[in-house]
Amino acid sequence: MDADEDIEFGRIALAWGWAAREVLTRALAWQRANAPQRRLSDVLVQGGVLTPEQVARIAAEQRRRRTARGPRGADEPPAAPWTPLAPQSPPHGVAGWAGAADLAAAPPGVGTAVAMGPTPRPEDEDPLLGAVLGGCFVNARLGAGAMATVYLAWHGELRKDVVIKVLSHEHTKVARTVERFRREASAMARVEHPNVVMVFDLGTTPDGRPFTVMQYVDGQDLDKRMKAQGRLAPEEAARLVLEVARGLEAAHAKGVIHRDVKPENIMLTSGGTAKVTDFGLAKDTTMAPVTMDGAIIGTPLYMAPEIGGKAPIDARVDVYSLGLTFYYLLTGVEPMREFSAHDVLFKAAHGKLRPPEDHLPGLPAAHRRVLGRMLARERDDRYPDMAAAARDLEALLRGAPVDAPEPTLWPAAPGAGADTASVAPAAPPRPRRPHPAPATTLSSRQLLALGAAAAVVLALGAFVVLAIVAWL
């Protein structure tokens, strides 16, 4: 095997952004130590780093370069030798790649003689890139937050892409946070439903951080979809909210209350299916509570008004949060953003939400009624559970009557009470016979002036009468 071809293959894959530097170096080191007779491309395909189609394109680029440069030595020096680095221990419990070397890269069309490669990005130095966690080969880092880092990985047994969520070093030191992280994984693993992101495994990294292996969703979250394209048609909004409601109904049946339902925690697949994710703030009613009663848990812009109160919460907090999400999908406006932080946190805003028709004139009356019941300030006025909300949402899609009454949250809208898909224009009024104009109501000042004028007239009349009598 030509080692220089493997080096050039790695350079192209790195330059085209198809593989991280650290992943390639580990792959090459593993190949040389364990399977020197195999090509680097075969190792990368087996590990799920590259697809056969990507390998074919890189091979075509290699052939083009060979044709352009002619026989080796004519206009290009041999490939630069590898710079060995300190050997690395195999990933915990799995015989993984060890050792490292340097890969340089050049963008397509640039001679390899001057290709020194891009400066490694910070994420390329992540020790988990190229590692094996729970039988999954870690390919790339998708993102990082204050709590955890999320990676794209390849599950060798399932032969599919997965997501691995790893708790940060700082939060691993907090026992309560670690417990909540594990509870999230446990809660999601118990809920098996097409509209909930699945959890496949829970484990610990070699440096002691807990991680979960989850379903990879090829798509984007609902908030990104809204920011990119704006409000949805009423039927599409009802369809997505119905799918979320069904996923949450399955979670509630397992004793799991999400407590953080919002567009950012709803994933949309490339086929348009909604999936609930991120149960990090969920309340598992089958286990002892982690937080004390009355704690404010959730995202303020999507929290139900009873959260933080004295009474224990139930699944109706998710009904309310899903109602705020429904409002956003229908109107393109997050209703709580119109209020101050004080009003939101101290529950003054929840009874003052603007009618949705202020943002979307002509909103179907049935959609308005379902939305109003989901957003009732008093939880006893909401749907009693997510199953009841799902039935009305399904009725919206079928064009059937809904159970939700006219909402008391807003003034009655034109066409209120109609269950039709859209509000029909009002019929012109029938002609009526003219009525006499109503009597004019006089003010006290006008009455006083009239009284004075009448007194003057009477006085003049009396004077005239006396003058006539005297003349006679």
Q: Which residues are catalytic?
A: 260
* 376 in Cβ contact with 404 (< 8 Å): no
In single-letter form, the type of residue at position 102 comes to D
The whole-angstrom distance between residue 230's C-alpha and the CA centroid of its chain comes to 14
Q: Which of 99, 290, 89 is nearest to 205 (CA)?
A: 89
* 11 in Cβ contact with 105 (< 8 Å): yes
Instruction: Give every strand in the sheet of 274-276, ordered side by side.
Output: 219-221, 266-269, 274-276
DSSP string, 212-263: EEEE--SEEEHHHHHHHH-PPPHHHHHHHHHHHHHHHHHHHHTTEE-S--SG
The whole-angstrom distance between residue 207's C-alpha and the CA centroid of its chain comes to 30
Q: Is residue 397 classed exposed, middle or buried when 0-12, 13-18 and 19+ CB atoms within 10 A define those classes?
A: middle
Close Cβ partners of 254 (under 8 Å, ≥ 6 residues apart) = 187, 190, 191, 286
Q: Is residue 288 classed exposed, middle or buried when 0-12, 13-18 and 19+ CB atoms within 10 A define those classes?
A: exposed
Please list, residue by residue across 301-314, b when 16 or more beta carbons sit within 10 angstroms of its beta carbon and e when fewer do: bbbbbbbbeeeebb
Q: What are phi and psi of 199, to 5 degrees?
A: -110, 130
Instruction: List the alpha helices (DSSP H) in 126-233.
Output: 169-172, 175-190, 222-229
Q: Which of 178, 149, 179, 177 is nearest to 163 (CA)?
A: 149
* 386 in Cβ contact with 248 (< 8 Å): yes
The whole-angstrom distance between residue 155's C-alpha and the CA centroid of its chain comes to 25
Cα–Cα distance, 207 to 143 (Å, whole number): 20
What is residue 284's three-state secondary structure?
Answer: strand
Cα–Cα distance, 181 to 149 (Å, whole number): 13
What is residue 67's three-state secondary structure?
Answer: helix
Which 8-state DSSP code applies to residue 266? E
Q: What are phi and psi of 284, to 5 degrees?
A: -95, 105
Give the containing element (helix H, strand E) for 150. Answer: strand 148-155
